[in-house]
Amino acid sequence: MDMNPIDLGRIEVLQVLDEHGNVDQARDPGLSDSELLAVHRAMVLTRSFDSRMLTMQRQGEMGTFAPNLGQEACMIGQVWELTRQDWFSPSYRSFGAQIHRGWPMERLFLLWSGYHEGFPPPEGVNDMPFSIVIGSHVLPAVGIAMGMRRRNNNDCVVVNFGDGAMSQGAVSEAFNFAMVDRAPVVFVCENNGWAISTPTKLQYATDHLAGRGVAFGLSSIRVDGNDILGMIAAMREATRRARDGEGPTFVEAITYRMSLHTTADDPTVYRDSADSDPWHSRCPINRMEKYLEGRGLLSKEAAEKVKLEADAEVLEARERFRKIAKARPREVFDHLYKVTPSELEDQRNEYLSRLDRKGVD
């Protein structure tokens, strides 16, 4: 696969697995049967978690979060090639990748329901805490990669962000720093068609974002982000380049946000269903199941069993979450100041007195 800087007018999309389950043998990353089934299961688990989170949020049990329905291949594909020593710097729509990286699902439930215990990465997982501020995490990820290069440890960093972040100056600065330093970092832009309510056609005047990487000297490629095999193939080459000292890579993954921007959003206000309808046939899980069925690796009955097992696993995590998610209203004023200002101390005392009168622990 050629990932050298290319003519801006000839940037093509890498696709290995098409919508009908057909594979381009020349570009197939060559996963084993067991790996193919594991990739499929990881995507199904991601969707099950997303679905359950949405139900819990609508029932008042979860805070606002960003669903990733339809982006499962993009999520799993970008971290599939990473080792435990590599680092991952996620944005806020990355829980599928986080689960694959080793985050217990109950920890992510805690995170999105507002408990601080859910925010720090688990022990032994080389992930940064996810970022809400658009594009703010990209420069720190490059800094980690710059440190790796100086230590000569042959590891790499993957950092993801959405198409909206490409309008942030910090991302351009990160591209420049990474290229000048030859940092072992892979930038993954999840181009899902919308920056909240702003479509890509109103964000930039070209028909691609990959050209921006080329402008900074980065090896750049566009990938069908709903094609799990294409994502893995692109990331395999990108991480190899990083580890071999060949510098950073920019991967523009073309996908689509089938659900809400966040659960505080109503996409029917700003987009027509006709825009979304064609993407149903491009579902990353459906096309993978067609491929596996054609290979004789997964029947329809077996696929349904995988889904039921994933749903059950998520429900088990939900029950673990419920056992540890206990509100602690008396800690509201803690951790704000080393020395609490007197006026805030007065407010705290009044607040605690009210809890005492109501018998709240």
**Cβ 39 vs Cβ 80: under 8 Å:** yes
Q: Does this model's pTM top 0.95?
A: no
d(CA 171, CA 213): 10
Cβ contact 291:21 at 8 Å: yes
Task: Give catalytic status of residue 257 as yes or no.
Answer: yes
| Residue among 52, 100, 208, 257 flagged as catalytic | 257
Catalytic-labelled residue, pool 236, 270, 271, 330: 270
Closest of 178, 141, 177 to residue 160, by C-alpha: 141
> Which listed residue (52, 101, 241, 261) is catalytic?
261
Based on the residue annotation, tell me whether 270 is a catalytic residue of this protein.
yes
Concerning whether 261 is annotated as a catalytic residue, the answer is yes
pLDDT digits (tens, 9 = 90+) for 254-313: 999 999 999 999 999 999 888 888 899 999 999 999 999 999 999 999 999 999 999 999
Closest by CA to 3, choosing from 204, 244, 207, is: 244
- The 10s digit of each residue's pLDDT in 71-120 is 999 999 999 999 999 999 999 999 999 999 999 999 999 999 988 889 99
Per-residue pLDDT band for 331 (boundaries 50, 70, 90) equals: confident
Q: Which helix (H) or strand (E) segment is 270 a member of?
A: none
